[in-house]
Amino acid sequence: LFASISNAWLSGQWDIHQMSHPLPTTLITLALALKIGLAPLHTWMPEVLQGLDLTTGLILSTWQKLAPFCLLLQVQPANATLLLVLGITSTLVGGWGGLNQTQLRKILAYSSIAHLGWMILVLQFSPSLTFLALLVYFIMTFSLFISFKISNATNINTLATSWAKAPALTSIIPLILLSLGGLPPLTGFLPKWLILQELTKQDLAPLATVAALSALL
């Protein structure tokens, strides 16, 4: 709201397509980054997701991301580096944050931050790729949350003992997890591969390398 009002004040119009002044564009980008939980504005996300049940957590991880993304696509930031910095920070924080967690919802929150980082990296070069990554992320996250809900698992220990309750489901969960991690030949690898390709086309090979290394975490 503050960004929209300051834009109207500085430029005399309410239209977000033609935001030319750097102050409101930076403000609205940061505000939307806070809404979807991009690092370094991500600190609320793991804690909030941990406190929610799996169904509400699923809504927060998927549906909640659509509106801010649509706005981010329409606002093209004045300086391209802001989105790149937000993107690369998110992939790194998402990778590091999930390492020493035992709570599944926190791991999923950090996974969400990392995936959003990948999407934001490529947003200004190829919006269609961002949408592909978002769609694949939605499908994988939906599958994982539903699987956890059925097997009633909220931490790694419960997941380890869920074999007795639902063997078929428990054998599928590692595949979904590996796909979410972006392992070839699973679906989750496709958007990452295409994003890396697009980044190298834009002469951002060092950035693509850092992103790829962060995915290994």
Beta bridge partners of 155: 103
What is the pLDDT confidence band of residue 167, given thresholds at 50, 70 and 90? confident
Question: Which pLDDT score is estimated for 79?
Answer: 74
Q: What is d(CA 105, CA 145) in angstroms, rounded to the nearest whole number? A: 9
User: Quick check: 13 pLDDT over 70?
Assistant: yes
In tens, the pLDDT along 77-131 reads 767 899 999 999 999 999 999 888 889 999 999 999 999 999 999 999 999 999 9
Question: Which pLDDT score is estimated for 141?
Answer: 96
At a CB cut-off of 8 Å and minimum separation 6, what does 174 contact? Answer: none
Domain boundaries, the chain: 1-216
In tens, the pLDDT along 136-162 reads 999 999 999 999 999 888 888 888 888
Question: Which pLDDT score is estimated for 206?
Answer: 93
Question: Which pLDDT score is estimated for 40?
Answer: 92
Question: Which pLDDT score is estimated for 78?
Answer: 66
What is the pLDDT confidence band of residue 18, given thresholds at 50, 70 and 90? confident
Question: Which pLDDT score is estimated for 178?
Answer: 93
Tokens describing residue 215: 């995915």
Q: What is d(CA 183, CA 190) in angstroms, rounded to the nearest whole number? A: 9
> Cβ–Cβ contacts within 10 Å for residue 120, how many?
28
pTM above 0.85, yes or no: yes
- What average pLDDT score do residues 30-50 get? 94
Phi first, then psi, for residue 25 (nearest 5°) are: -65, -40
Angle subtended by helix axes 66-74 and 127-151, to nearest 10? 170
Phi first, then psi, for residue 152 (nearest 5°) are: 55, 45
DSSP code of residue 65: G
At a CB cut-off of 8 Å and minimum separation 6, what does 55 contact? Answer: 145, 149
Q: What is d(CA 155, CA 153) in angstroms, rounded to the nearest whole number? A: 6
User: Quick check: 75 pLDDT over 90?
Assistant: no
Beta bridge partners of 176: none
